[in-house]
Amino acid sequence: MTLLPHDGRPIAAAILESDAETVELAPEAIRDATARTFAPIIRGFLVPVLIFYVLIGIPHVVLRAPADAALLFSLSASTAVATFLLRRSLRLNDASFLRLELVGSAVLMMIYVNTCAVLYVDFHPANLIYLLLLMMLASTVGISMRVVAGVSGITLATMLVLAFIHGRETFFYYSFVGLAGAFSAIGLAILMRGAILKAVRSRLLAESLRERAERQADFDALSGLPNRRSYFANLEQMMAAPGASVHVGIIDLDGFKPVNDLYGHAVGDDLLVEVAARIRNACPPAYLVARLGGDEFALAIDRTLSPDTLTHLGAAICEALRRPFTISGISIAISGSIGFAHFPSNGTTAREIYERADHALYCAKRATRGDVMIFTDRHEAEMNDYGLIEQTLRNADLMKELYLDFQPQFDILTERTSGFEALARWASPTLGTVNPGLFIAAAERTGMIERITGILLQKAIAAALTWPPKVSLSFNLSPMDLVSPRSIANVTRIVRESGIAPERLTFEITETMVMSDFECARESLVALADMGCRIALDDFGSGYSSFAYIHRFPLHRLKTDRCFVTQLADESASGFGILLAIAELCANLGLECLAEGVETEEEMRSVRQAGVRFVQGYLYGRPMNAAAAAAHAAAQHDRTALSATG
């Protein structure tokens, strides 16, 4: 299974060209959006018209002479029936611009005919005011200016003719009144439609930018391969097929980090592009090849392969990666290791298969780098040994052993540290320093995450209270926290009792947190936002992140992944285009945008040019302990105060 643009061009080229395109709104799209906006207005207008002409028939019958009553009642009844039928036939979802023009014109002309009939039966100069009111109705209900101008013109002409018949004085009086009414109606129509058109264009522009960014976000900005989000979406689709048999391969480069350290990220990025091309060429076209991030690639094969065939494929990829690369005149030698797992033999979900393929990869690296490893029952037993982490966690003195590091977040506009992200750490006397991903996952499996979240949040807030008041704290919530009302209640209690200003707190989430129970997660976020806390969506534009959640959660900030920053030095690159589109989307929606992984001055300049205000990365500080974070914040506060007084 491969993902290619419809025209068959290489993916990277297609993305680069789409970045260069200017967003243009087609006239047809504007007309359709205007129709969707006006449909409820016109449909709602038909209700009072229907009620009026149902009720007005009664005084016509009671107060008029028989001949006049018959004429006026028949017109009122016909108008009521026609209005009822028009409203039933007018659906909000499929009402076209032309249809709304016809409906609006028909109803206004029926009102015009009824008004003329009343004037015919019982003419008084004062009744000409009905025609003036009809102009005002046209200015409100007419979807286009030709409807407004047409109805207003007919109405004005009728008023002037009737006034002229009545006499010179009446004609001059209603000439001024009629012209004033016509100009008022047309002016009101122009102002109202101008405002509606502006709102329609803004909404269409935001949707266009979102759709363009979504299309680009399915592919890795650097290599042109499908990215993590696209890979897992396709993997789940493969696994959902009846009788599915899917092999998942995880590829990781050996010796890539020294290349970055020695030659810089530009050479490292060019190397990744070449690696992607070699992996793609080593695989049959039907196999899905993706870049998950960094130097990690993945395969998905939706057919059954024998262990020998799978090993042969992996060996061919490894052999291709062992051949020397020439990047910018530099000869570079690396290798790659591959781990394979099979659905459904090794697991029933995409996450389980990925974890087992990743464990096989770890075993391949541990045994002989540049080798192939297929997940077996022996590896399954080995994974069970990780239960030791869970057992140790259960018996740990969490209040003593858990601690936090803090990484600065920098505000480009004010040129100061705006806040710190709190990063969970565990120093176990038995196991030593444990990888956060491992012990957090263990805490979620054992149900201890609520307690750990509470302890870490209390420590994070205690540290933040030593910072200057304008320095904020970002705290990551676990998926289990987000879908647990009890855990969220504990979080809100800690915030209230701490005395910290809620607006200084930003809770960071990812899309994976809400997949299991969307409504419960949304209620939790609303509860935090109602307190005054802020919500940030992490890893936006890559991984599992989805643009659909922007409008469904009370968000205040979007955080982009490092994968976009790697290409920011070149303004023509897709990473810059995607980041620019995300920054524009944030500006249109009133959200803050933070770029993660900024490590060089060149990346910083490009991020600034893309319009991103907040950054986080090694350029402005590595994770530091609480004392260092307090000293960092205090020192900057002193510099800011000194510059203000100086």
Note the Cα 442 to chain centre separation in Å.
30
Distant-in-sequence, close-in-space partners of 97: CB < 8 Å, separation ≥ 6: 31, 32, 34, 35, 143, 144
User: What amino acid is encoded at 2 in this protein?
Assistant: T
124 phi/psi in degrees, rounded to 5 = -135, 140
How far apart, in whole angstroms, are the C-alpha atoms of residue 417 and residue 412?
A: 9
295 belongs to the catalytic site: yes
How far apart, in whole angstroms, are the C-alpha atoms of residue 111 and residue 577?
A: 54
Q: CB of 548 within 8 A of CB of 527?
A: no
331 phi/psi in degrees, rounded to 5 = -85, 125
Cα dihedral sign, 571-577-582-587:
positive
476 beta partners? 508
22 phi/psi in degrees, rounded to 5 = -90, 135
Q: Exposed, middle or buried by CB within 10 Å (0-12, 13-18, 19+), for 630?
A: buried
Q: CB of 375 within 8 A of CB of 346?
A: yes
- CA dist list (Å): 343 to 95, 101, 236: 48, 57, 11
Q: CB of 245 within 8 A of CB of 303?
A: yes
Q: Which one from 220, 252, 254, 295 is the annotated catalytic residue? A: 295
Q: Residue 123, Cβ neighbours under 10 Å: how many?
A: 13
Q: CB of 298 within 8 A of CB of 292?
A: yes
Q: CB of 421 within 8 A of CB of 536?
A: no
Laid out side by side, the sheet with 246-254 consists of 288-293, 296-301, 246-254, 335-343, 372-374
Q: CB of 455 within 8 A of CB of 399?
A: yes
User: What amino acid is encoded at 207 in this protein?
Assistant: E
Distant-in-sequence, close-in-space partners of 77: CB < 8 Å, separation ≥ 6: 53, 57
Cα dihedral sign, 156-160-166-171:
positive
Q: CB of 18 within 8 A of CB of 581?
A: no
For 188-203, b/e burial (b = at least 16 CB within 10 A) is bbeeebeebeeebeee
How far apart, in whole angstroms, are the C-alpha atoms of residue 133 and residue 155?
A: 10
In order, the DSSP letters of 399-425 are: HHHEEEEEEEEEETTTTEEEEEEEEEE
Which residues are annotated as catalytic? 295
